[in-house]
A and B are shown apart, each in its own frame.
Chain A
Amino acid sequence: MVDEELRSDLQKRGIFVASFEDLYNWGRKNSLWPLQFGLACCAIEMIATAAARFDMARFGAEVFRPSPRQADLMIIAGTVTKKMAPLVVRLYNQMPEPKYVIAMGACAISGGPFKEGYNVLKGMDRYIPVDVAIPGCPPRPEALLEGLIKLQKKIEGQRLFGSHRARHADAGDPAEYPVPAYGAHDLEPPLNPALFKPRPVRRDEA
């Protein structure tokens, strides 16, 4: 790492010093290409975010790609039904690394108002790693932009080497996750135990 004092001193003289990591992350965070797919009403807000009034292009994320091969950000915008969940996991697996996931709205986070239903997945983090969760039903475009900025901050801080390196820089971490199968009563398995470890919630009066 460059000494901060030296860096600002050089910057005043018109010389910019950056580490490879900084340049790499700076480039990636300002050209996030989202995968173009929406699952429910949150997708309408996502469309509004991309359109002129809110203009996601200001943050470098306007190039919605219709193919997972060209995308590096998956915005899960809407209710993930159990019938749709294997397809979402497969789309995630088809995206090249480094890839990120934003769970947009209550449904994508936990199943939302449909949590006790028979047909809705209780949160996409049961099958794929989620980087940013945006609460709301649906979240307003400002919230999606806030989530995007949060993700950019996260990318900015990711290390490529060393023991704290990012998931995609670690050869031991999987880039693909098992696709659940349609079972007789539920998806099989109902969650990925290697990935989904909810903290036990204690309430004084449950």
Chain B
Amino acid sequence: MTDVLQAIRAALPAATVELINNPGPGAQHSLLVSANDGRAVAKFLRDSLGFDFCSNVTGVDWLPRKVQETVSRKESVEGAGKEIPETVERDIPGFLEAVYHLYSISKKSGPLTMRMRTGDRAGDVTVPSLTPVWKSAEFQEREAYDLFGIRFEGHPDLRRILMWDGFADHPMRKDYAAPDDCEYEPTPHDETLARVKARQEAT
């Protein structure tokens, strides 16, 4: 993974690429590539590093979230410098992410996970399409567009692939609310239980 990163940095010094470590036992680290450099990095991965096969494209929906961080603040108490830990809450805005799994059949290596992020979840949802680089990404990018609402710039035929054309929502987004048309649930629980109860009280 690090050698791939070094090769990209050596060949494309202007590209913003960073390594995201996966602390789990699977240790599936991934490359986070900025959307602007996505196409150039992908071409380099295919042509120079031999990643000739894109097996999987998917999306991830990241809701806006708050993280609590402990920062130490220096303060002089009674003449002596002291470090006081302080908990600070930080907002992380939401965004969508396109994830590509790349393999090299010629070098028998992989998977390499490549990720690209959109600016936010509403207006700026564009990442460059990698279909011109790997043809196999075409249908899967359409699926990510259909279910997550990621717009792939430069895709040859960006239409919905699973839902119908007039469908307005993106069902795999975390804030998607399915139409409330369930009249009976044999084992209701959580939100469904509340809905069933409200419905039974109404009738």
Contacts and interface: CB of A to CB of B under 8 A. Distances in A.
A185 B181 contact: no
B168 A184 contact: yes
SS of A interface (majority): loop
A190 B165 CA distance: 18
A186 B179 contact: yes
A110 B167 CA distance: 23
B168 A119 contact: no
* Size category of the binding interface on chain B: 20 to 34
B157 to A, nearest CB: 19
B179 A190 contact: yes
Given A116-B178, A116-B182, A206 B188 contact: yes
A182 B162 contact: no
B186 to A, nearest CB: 9
A122 interface: yes
Nearest to B203: A200
Interface in A154-206: 182-186, 190-191, 198, 200-202, 206
Interface of A: 83, 110, 115-119, 122, 182-186, 190-191, 198, 200-202, 206
Given A115-B182, A122-B181, A185 B169 contact: yes
A119 B162 contact: yes
Nearest to A189: B181
Nearest 10 Cβ contacts at the A-B interface: A186-B179, A184-B168, A182-B164, A118-B171, A118-B178, A190-B181, A198-B183, A201-B184, A182-B166, A206-B196
Interface in B142-183: 162-169, 171, 176, 178-179, 181-183
A122 B162 contact: no
A184 B167 contact: yes
Given A185-B169, A206-B197, A116 B181 contact: no
Given A115-B182, A182-B165, 7 more contacts: A118-B169, A118-B176, A119-B162, A119-B163, A122-B181, A185-B168, A201-B184
Nearest to A121: B181
B202 to A, nearest CB: 11
Contacts of B166: 182-184
Contacts of A119: 162-163, 171
B164 A83 contact: yes
